[in-house]
Amino acid sequence: MRAVEDREREIMLELVRVTETAALLAGRCMGMGDKELVDAAAVDGMRGMLSLVNISGRVVIGEGEKDRAPMLYNGERVGTGLVEDELDIAVDPVEGTRLVADGLPNALSVIVAAARDSLMPVPTFYMHKLAVGQRARDYIDINAPVRENLRVVAAALGKKVRDLTVVILNRPRHADLVREVREAGARIKFIQDGDVAGAISTSVPDTGVDMLMGTGGAPEAVLAAAALKCLGGEIQTKMWVRDAEDEARARAASFEDTTQVYTSEDLAKGKSIVFCATGITDGDMLKGVRYNGEHATTDSIVMRARTGTVRRIQTSHDLSKKTLHSFRAGREMPV
């Protein structure tokens, strides 16, 4: 056990370097309107830095299958491979690719490292989600009416329903949810993308966010669950099965009961979890990358579930001296 704890501490800063690299490269593409350019830059930097980290990692939450390279794919091996214990790795080189491409807030680069078989390898489609911070974690029920969840969360937080702020992805599919939240009297903060950041914001002080509700990507639910395990918050999820094809994919991935509720502990098991994120564009939780001539600054958060440790890391990068490892080029490259 001691060896596992020491290993977690050792890789925390290394994982920050991984997300910093992805953010520094993706940040150069902000506002250019090209999602593929943003993602390619971040993936190249993340994959390159991961190849230098002394772990034996297996990507269980990535960006698709092997034939969709250059994206970090499910099943890809990462790290030096020199360490005996294998880790589950979940990545989103750019959580909010469109946000970066369009110069919008709340884009992150995210990575999670956990003990083997800790992270649920969910099929890559959608889940209904309900996330809250620590004070309300024991009171939510994703199967309960919207109004009831708002009422119990408000009570747990010592607020009135009208004081609550609920984050919801701005999508047509949420029309009924938005109507119910409005009818209950709560406030809504719409986001264009990036519901990982929205879920985490429920558990981070001074974000002004109390809840996340709605339907978003299933892989992002696992990333959010890992972060909330570190912060003491909670997320409940259910598969969103839209048609027979979705149901077939779920069953093929051994999700026989598509009505089952999954909690943070189901999605990210145990205590051996390290979560790291670096801001790419400015958000409620993290600042975006700043460039100033030969210098750049990044803002990151890194957390451990075992200890509940949360570190905020602001890094100044001297770009005249710094190179980043490009996996595609197979060598060090200037930023």
- Which pLDDT tens digit goes with each residue over 289-311? 999 989 999 999 999 999 999 99
| Mean pLDDT over the full length of the chain | 92
Beta-carbon contacts of residue 172 (< 8 Å; ≥ 6 apart): none
Instruction: Write the pLDDT tens digit of every residue in 97-120.
Output: 999 999 999 999 999 999 999 999
Q: Are strands 323-326 and 310-318 parallel, antiparallel or unpaired?
A: unpaired
Hey, what are 54's tokens? 């002394």
Per-domain residue ranges for the chain?
2-116+272-334, 126-267
Q: Is the pLDDT of residue 66 over 50?
A: no
Residue pair 250/241 in contact by the 8 Å Cβ criterion: yes
pLDDT (average), residues 68-86: 84
CATH number of 126-267: 3.40.190.90
Predicted pLDDT of residue 241? 87
Task: Please state, for a pLDDT cut of 90, what percent of the chain lies above it.
Answer: 78
What gap in Å lies between CA 273 and CA 147, rounded to an integer?
Answer: 33
Can you give the C-alpha Rg of the chain in angstroms?
Answer: 19
pLDDT above 80: residue 319: yes
pLDDT tens per residue across span 115-138: 999 999 887 689 999 999 999 999
pLDDT of residue 157: 98
- Report d(CA 208, CA 294) in Å as an integer: 35
In this predicted model, what pLDDT tens digit does every residue of 5-24 receive, in sequence order? 677 888 999 999 999 999 99
Tell me the three-class secondary structure of 53-87, residue by residue. Answer: CCCEEEEEECCCCHHHCCCCCCCCEECCCCCCCEE
Average pLDDT rounded to a whole number, residues 265-277:
97
> What is the CB neighbour count within 10 angstroms for residue 332?
11
- Does residue 221 or residue 333 have the better pLDDT? 221
Tally DSSP H helices, then E strands, for the chain.
9, 15
- CB under 8 Å to 1, separation ≥6 — which residues? none
| Segment 241-261 mean pLDDT | 86
- Is the pLDDT assigned to residue 65 strictly greater than 70? no
Q: Is pLDDT of 2 > 70? A: no
Residue 294 CB neighbour total at 10 angstroms: 12
Nearest to 196 by CA among 162, 145, 153, 233: 233
Q: What is the pLDDT of residue 67?
A: 44
**What is the model's pLDDT at position 5?**
67
Q: Over 60: is that where the pLDDT of 205 sits?
A: yes
Model's pTM, two decimal places? 0.93
pLDDT, greater one: 68 or 146: 146
pLDDT of residue 71: 79
pLDDT tens digits along 168-178: 999 999 999 99
Band of pLDDT at residue 256, cut at 50, 70 and 90: confident
User: Which CATH architecture describes the domain 2-116+272-334?
Assistant: 2-Layer Sandwich (3.30)
Strand order in the sheet with 165-169: 187-191, 165-169, 211-217, 126-132, 234-239
Does residue 93 carry a pLDDT above 70? Answer: yes
